[in-house]
Amino acid sequence: MPLLRCSFVLLLGLLLGACASRTPLPESAPSLSLPLSLHIQRAQAGTSADWLLVVQAEGTALRWSLFDPLGVPLARQLLDNGQWRNDGLLPPNAEARELFAALLFALTPSTELAQRYPQGDWQLAGADQRRLKPDWQIDYRTPLHFTLNTPPDLHYRVAPLQPEESP
């Protein structure tokens, strides 16, 4: 009986810990210029991978589709009413959901951050850097060229697939 109780407490702790460390989502959708096609370069521990991300509006939802360079889908998610839903037959991909949430924050215009995200979840560190709980740091070169960093050594370089338009 004590072993069962200890197992239950451990499982409950893991579940609560997983919920507590999730990347926050905006309270309402930010103004984005969609559809958006991005090149994502993932780097960790000396290895790298290139991905293509397409973000589209689908009614009130945002569809996030992640592909490898050959066009094989890696993750498809719908963000609808502040909740992620699997889209299609792909298995859930927790890393992709966290990446998508961090990207949504990174793509949110600075002028909208205060109305979209709770104040304690993020901070600006100058014009070219932001932080988002739990451990995301975003370093900008331009609004669509930036790097997402999270400990211990995971980095995502983000760039548009098409050239940015000059204002």
Per-residue pLDDT of 45-100, as tens digits, reads 999 999 999 999 999 899 999 999 999 999 999 999 999 999 888 888 999 999 99
pLDDT of residue 65: 97
pTM, two decimals, is 0.84
What's the rounded Cα separation, in Å, for the pair 134 and 128? 19
Domain assignment present for residue 22? The answer is: no
User: Residues of the chain with pLDDT > 90: what percent?
Assistant: 73
Residue 106, burial from CB neighbour count under 10 angstroms (0-12, 13-18, 19+):
buried
Between the alpha carbon of residue 167 and those of residues 48, 127, 139, 143, 145, the distances in Å are 33, 18, 21, 12, 16
Domain assignment present for residue 127? The answer is: yes
Average pLDDT of the chain, as a whole number: 87
Domain assignment present for residue 39? The answer is: yes
Please give the tally of structural domains in the chain. 1
Domain assignment present for residue 103? The answer is: yes
Radius of gyration of the chain (CA): 17
Domain assignment present for residue 28? The answer is: no
Cis peptide before 35 (omega within 30 of 0): yes
